[in-house]
Chains A and B, each alone.
Chain A
Amino acid sequence: MNPKRKQRLIIVLFIVFGVGIAVGLTMFALSQNINLFYSPTQIVNGEAPEHTRIRAGGMVVEGSVTRDPNSLKVSFGMTDYAESVTVEYTGILPDLFREGQGIVAQGVMDEAGIFQASEVLAKHDENYMPPEVAEALEKAGNMPKPEAEEFNK
């Protein structure tokens, strides 16, 4: 390789790695702001800001969903297996919402420690499967569940 080309190669590598390091450090410093949501553990530990709109993500606790028979109000527990938070929401839930499903809710923590959600989004994982397979796994009790790390990064 002649010296001219070698010099240009070094400049190109310098651009790629220089930008990579700069952006990497920035991302590392901002990592908390890049997270889309807070986990129940962070909320319980007081790491999430209070009295402002935040997003919280976790898994809907099995058997915790209670619906008000006279309105669209629902309340359910949301957990990352370590801590859990009660969520209240009035409105139509996404089709994928069910117990044992990952969700991301937007809202405010009230004084009673209940998360008043204004929006609930369903989070699904990459374990796509045909209905028959899901049924068989369900029967055998081997249904894959979202892991705790899924909500705590």
Chain B
Amino acid sequence: MAENKKWMPRWFYQMASPRWSYEIMGKLMPWFAIPAAVLLVLGIAWALAFAPQDYQQGNSFRIIYIHVPSAILAQSCYMLMAVAGAIGLIWKMKVADMVAKSCAPIGATMAILALATGAIWGKPTWGSWWVWDARLTSMLILLFLYLGVIALHSAFESEATAAQATAVLALVGLVNIPIIKYSVEWWNTLHQPATFTLTERPAMPAEMWVPLLIMVIGFYCFFAVSLMMRTRNEIIHRERRASWVRELIEKQ
């Protein structure tokens, strides 16, 4: 195998440079921050004030506009964490480790938000805050995986060892993602089937799912911004002895 053959596009190797990553993230951030603010404000206003209520659940249905985006994000964030962890393991890329580390608290927050809104929604509709069905339980396991990743990371003195250990844990936990997704199809659950799927039109009318889609995209943009902020922070912290970071600090 040719030693100098490049397997990945150029930006992939550039990403290995903390300085390049720091700068590109600084440039990209406004492109996500503004859409995040616009979409979330628009989506929330539309969802709470203008979207119709549900014929069975009335207004309590509106919690879906927080519940579904946060649940989707919690899973996407986990996948990103595992992929970044794998890149860190294989290519020994420090920035990938930092991205993986930054994902965990955001994902854990999203998982808590999804579980909490789900419980609040469950009480008036199902009649129970919590049921040990496959969907709810696997989502709780996702939260524990996030907490495990955070705890494991802080248990190591060395950042490199911590990154390796957490990447392995994240990869092992990856098996939970398809379980969450298909739990409502494989087993009898109290939880209803998926609201959004990639292949089919949503079962609900457009005036209900368009604001939901706006919220999902808004959540993704918000996630991108907070991930970049955390990663930039992490880069500055870990590269604090590098000359370019010193220069950056002196400039301010």
Tell me the bound Cα distance from A129 to B179 in angstroms: 28
Number of A-B contacts (CB under 8 A): 136
A115 within 8 A of B: no
Q: Report the separation of the CA atoms of residues A36 and B192 in the bound assembly, to the nearest whole angstrom.
A: 13
Q: Which residues of B (189-207) have their CB < 8 Å from a CB of A? A: 189-190, 192-195, 202-205, 207
- A134 x B7 contact (CB < 8 A): no
Interface range, A side? 35 or more
- The answer to whether the Cβ of A127 comes within 8 Å of any Cβ in the partner chain is yes
Q: B188's closest neighbor in chain A, by CB?
A: A35
A94 and B190 alpha carbons, distance in the complex (Å):
14
Option from B131, B187, B208 in Cβ contact (under 8 Å) with A35: B187
B168 at the interface (CB under 8 A from A): yes
Interface flag for B213 (CB, 8 Å)? no
Cβ proximity bits A63-101 to B, threshold 8 Å, 1 near / 0 not? 000000000000000000000000000000111100000
Number of B interface residues in the complex (CB < 8 A): 47
A114 at the interface (CB under 8 A from B): no
Determine the distance from Cα of A109 to Cα of B172 in the docked complex, in whole angstroms: 41
Residue interface bits B99-143, CB-to-A below 8 A is 1, else 0: 000000000000000000000000011111001111000000000
Interface-side segment among B15-23, B52-60, B150-158: B52-60
Say whether chain B's binding surface is mostly helix, strand, loop, or mixed.
loop
Q: A35-B188, A36-B187, A134-B55 are in contact. Are A124 and B125 (CB under 8 A)?
A: yes
Interface check A16, CB cutoff 8 A: yes
Give residues in B with beta carbon < 8 Å to A: 1, 3, 5, 7, 52-57, 61, 64, 86, 89-91, 124-128, 131-134, 168, 171-172, 174-175, 179, 185-190, 192-195, 202-205, 207-208
Chain A residues with a Cβ under 8 A of chain B: 1-3, 5-6, 8-9, 11-12, 15-16, 19-20, 23-24, 27, 31, 34-37, 39, 57, 93-96, 104, 119-135, 144, 151-153
